[in-house]
Amino acid sequence: MMKSNVSYPGQKRKEPISDTMLLMSITIGIFVVMYALAMIILKGGFLKPQMLFDMLNDNAYLIIISCSLTIVMITGSIDISVGSVTALVTMVDVMILNGNLHLFDGLQKALGVGEEFRIVFAAIMSLAIGLAFGVVQGYLIAYLEIQPFIITLAGLFFGRGMVTIISVDPQKAPQDLMDILQSRINIPFLGSPNKKGVIIPAHIEIGVVIALVILILVFILLRKFRLGRNFYAVGGNMQSALMLGVNVRRTRFLAHMLSGLLAGIAGFVFMMHVGAGNATNATASEMNAIATSIIGGTLLTGGVGNVIGTMFGVLTLTTIKAIVVTSGLRDPWWQSITTGAMLCFFILLQSVVLSRRGRGGFHLPPWLKKAEKKEGT
Amino acid sequence: MEKTMKKQSGFLTNYSQLLIPLIAVVLLVIFNLIRDPGFFSVGIAANNNGFPVLQGNLISILNGASELVILSMGMTLVTAASGGQDISVGALAAIAGSVFVKVLKSGPITGWSVIGGFVLCCVVAMIFGAFNGTLVACFRIQPMIATLILFTCGRSVAYWINGGATPTVESPIITAIGSFIPGIPIPTPILIVVVTGIIFALIFRFTNLGLYIQTVGINQGAARLNGINSIWIKLLAFIILGACCSIAGMINVSRLSLINHETILINIEMDAILAVAIGGNSLGGGKFRMVGSIIGAYAIQMLTITLYAMKVPSTDVKAYKAIVIIILVVMGSPVVKEKFGRFWSNMKRHRQRTGSLAGKEAQS
């Protein structure tokens, strides 16, 4: 358990663990138990380290947009446009790599650089699109005080619509560029033998590295920087943050800007993983990101949350899906039903835990209450 | 002078909530009339069965918006009572539709089996609504998070009810519910919407439900001190929304005479929330005006039909819709209103001053 480094004179020695850390440690604990049980009972793929790395490879983009949602949710707001921003960025990037966008084609010829340089264009464009979404939404939400749900819903519609306006047909990036982007990073000492007994080293993609670096940066931002502390302050209680001299509007604006920027990066990472632009890319991933943030211990009410927990939320969600698939329930409906059941479990757990600590609190349903009274009398 | 201004401001505060949706509708109507003067013309033509029925863009707007209007009515109550939104209405409508189809497929389709199917799907949807409501009211979970559960797994449950198939239901009774009752030229979904609206109007007229919901939404503690059981009120709002979902699901199943759990009423939750917001209701709960949501829902459908009439591909409609939404919401934002109001009063004062100066000059 981590403890606050600051000690005040006269403070009691034992400091109670904060809500954020409590919820996060519950998530980590459940993930570890679940994975261990899967290793013991299901064996198979779960014993190979590559299973874990594959989960990371497939969900690197989800880790990034979950980070952005965690930031926004800590501020007490919400952003449901991240999924379609991801899809839009993916489509634009693939078009740039294809050379279908004449502006960038001309720019490349004017600069006299090779085709590889298109990747740089794509990266810059991803950041630009993400930033544009973030700035516009942040301005409308923070300075014009419009409800974040509606604005980001418009962002969701706009992003999805723009994807099909750019191209209805699926687009594929050229293979030689994808070979560069999809180059694997081998981790030699974690290999596992395949059926012929040849040891294949475990590998991760570049996207995972990007995602982890972003995760660490966001963690440091939230923990060590004034801006990060302001996020918690604004989300915890906007009125008192205002009275303490926090620039609430600017803080909310920056949270949404950051979220848009991260969604742009997530689009680039998603493109690196799939290498194709498609209208159905990253569908409903905003809801997945909200779910992972909640599982990771972030509260939608604001002021509570941690990105490390969010990463374990992503891992827990993917582990559940992997367990469902490997245990033979191949019908497509099982995955979402188990996911829903698990969400229900985590949400109820959080509610009960927080009410035990005297925060939030819950009432018994009326019919249970009556039963209790009857028992009492 | 001052008195008239006060009166005006009073009128504006009373009805300003309806201003934005009405402006949206009027703008769309004017735009359409300029683009195509015959856009709203309603004609009578014989349909496949040989009965004379009403046809035209206006009818297709009113008809197509039926599900959205019914859902936005329920959503208004939930939003007002709980201060959050239910994002599972599409999934819930899919479940209700599946149950409806399941009952119809269990035997020959008669009038009684249709009624039985409707009652059963209504009960099932109300139970699921009560599940959402229990999470929200008793466990004090944010409505969006609580309904995320059903949003994730609802369509799969619908799939599972019908054993992974997408069955079709063919019957004259189903056609009568989905399109036209023989002899009546108005599409049946419109009639269902009217009946639902009348039921809600009667409820608000003869019970205190509307007042209680507003009280709970504005201040739960104060509501409790006044003897209102806020838990029951919230639960009730969610159960009513469940019933609305079952009606919407039934209409949609009858309209298409099949159920596809993946595509039935997809993304309608977003549109329903949008209708509530465009109707000028606060998404944070409290005061509500159901008429606003209804007009908002029709405005959304009118926008969609207008875009279709302009030959915009159905996949691209979303992007244009988003732009219109942002314009509407920015117009309705309190900050913009305040700034505009200040600008307006400054203009007025300026004009008065110059006017009085001119008068003084004329006197001298």
**Ranges of each domain in chain A:** 19-186+202-376
pLDDT tens digits, chain B, 364 residues: what are they? Answer: 444 444 444 445 557 778 888 888 998 899 989 988 888 888 888 777 777 888 888 898 999 999 999 999 999 999 999 988 999 999 999 999 999 999 998 888 888 999 999 999 999 999 999 999 999 998 888 898 899 999 988 999 998 888 777 888 888 888 888 888 888 888 999 999 999 999 999 999 999 999 999 999 999 889 989 999 999 999 999 999 999 999 999 999 999 988 888 888 888 988 999 999 888 888 888 889 999 999 999 999 999 999 998 888 888 888 998 998 888 888 877 788 888 888 888 888 888 877 766 666 666 5
CATH number of A19-186+202-376: 1.10.3470
Q: Pick the closest to residue B219 from B81, B84, B76 (CA basis).
A: B81
A341 chain-B contacts, CB cut-off 8 A: 153
Report pLDDT for A361.
44
B149 chain-A contacts, CB cut-off 8 A: 340, 343-344, 347
A164 close to B (CB below 8 A): yes
B164 chain-A contacts, CB cut-off 8 A: 331, 333
A193 close to B (CB below 8 A): no
Residue of B nearest to A336 (CA): B153
Q: Cα separation of B124 and B131, whole Å?
A: 11
- CB–CB of B231 and A363 under 8 A? yes
- CB–CB of A150 and B85 under 8 A? no
A290 chain-B contacts, CB cut-off 8 A: 145, 148
The nearest CA of chain B is from the CA of A355 a distance in Å of 9
Residue of A nearest to B338 (CA): A144
Element (H, E) at A268: helix A248-274
Q: Cα separation of A355 and A350, whole Å?
A: 8
Report in angstroms the alpha-carbon separations of A186 from A54, A128, A190, B185, B214.
13, 31, 9, 70, 60
Q: Which residues does residue A171 pair with via DSSP β-bridges, in sequence order?
A: A277
Structure tokens at B84: 């959050």
- CB–CB of B325 and A161 under 8 A? no
Tell me whether residue B80 is in a domain. Answer: yes
Q: Cα separation of B93 and B220, whole Å?
A: 29
Report pLDDT for A369.
54
Q: Cα separation of A272 and A208, whole Å?
A: 10
Report pLDDT for B4.
46
Interface test with A, best of B162, B318, B321 (most A CBs within 10 A): B318
B239 chain-A contacts, CB cut-off 8 A: none
Q: How many helices (H) and strands (E) does chain A have?
A: 15, 4
Structure tokens at A237: 């209680």
Q: Cα separation of A348 and B295, whole Å?
A: 37
Interface test with B, best of A79, A136, A294, A344 (most B CBs within 10 A): A344
Residue of B nearest to A161 (CA): B319
Report pLDDT for A217.
96
- CB–CB of B150 and A340 under 8 A? yes
The nearest CA of chain A is from the CA of B138 a distance in Å of 5
Which of A150, A331, A360 is nearest residue B329 as measured by Cβ atoms?
A: A150
ipTM: 0.84
Tell me whether residue B219 is in a domain. Answer: yes
Report in angstroms the alpha-carbon separations of B185 from A37, B51, B250, B321.
64, 8, 21, 31
Residue B309: Cβ within 10 Å count: 14
The nearest CA of chain B is from the CA of A185 a distance in Å of 34
Inter-residue long-range contacts of B24-28, CB under 8 Å, 24+ positions, other chains counted: B24/B278, B24/B296, B24/B299, B24/B303, B24/B324, B24/B328, B25/B295, B25/B298, B25/B299, B25/B302, B28/B299, B28/B302, B28/B303, B28/B306
Q: Give me the residue label for tokens 């926090």.
A: A246
B157 chain-A contacts, CB cut-off 8 A: 333, 337
- CB–CB of A161 and B319 under 8 A? yes
- CB–CB of B164 and A333 under 8 A? yes
- CB–CB of A150 and B330 under 8 A? no
- CB–CB of B321 and A157 under 8 A? yes
Q: Cα separation of A37 and B328, whole Å?
A: 53
Which of A147, A164, A351 is nearest residue B140 as measured by Cβ atoms?
A: A351
Tell me whether residue B17 is in a domain. Answer: no
Which of A144, A162, A299 is nearest residue B335 as measured by Cβ atoms?
A: A144
Query: What domain count does chain B have?
Result: 1
Do A338 and A318 meet the contact criterion of CB atoms below 8 Å apart?
no
The amino acid that residue A84 corresponds to is: S
pLDDT tens digits, chain A, 377 residues: what are they? Answer: 444 455 455 545 556 677 778 888 888 999 999 899 988 888 777 888 888 888 899 999 999 999 999 999 999 999 999 999 999 999 999 999 888 777 877 888 888 777 788 889 999 999 999 999 999 999 999 999 888 988 999 999 999 999 999 988 888 888 888 888 888 888 777 667 766 767 777 888 899 999 999 999 999 999 899 999 999 999 988 889 999 999 999 999 999 999 999 999 999 999 999 988 888 888 888 889 999 998 888 888 888 888 999 999 999 999 988 888 888 777 778 888 888 998 898 888 888 877 776 654 445 545 555 555 554 44
A301 close to B (CB below 8 A): yes
- CB–CB of B333 and A333 under 8 A? no
DSSP per residue over B272-314, as a string? HHHHHHHTT--TTSS---HHHHHHHHHHHHHHHHHHHHTT--T
- CB–CB of A362 and B153 under 8 A? no
Single pTM value for the model: 0.86
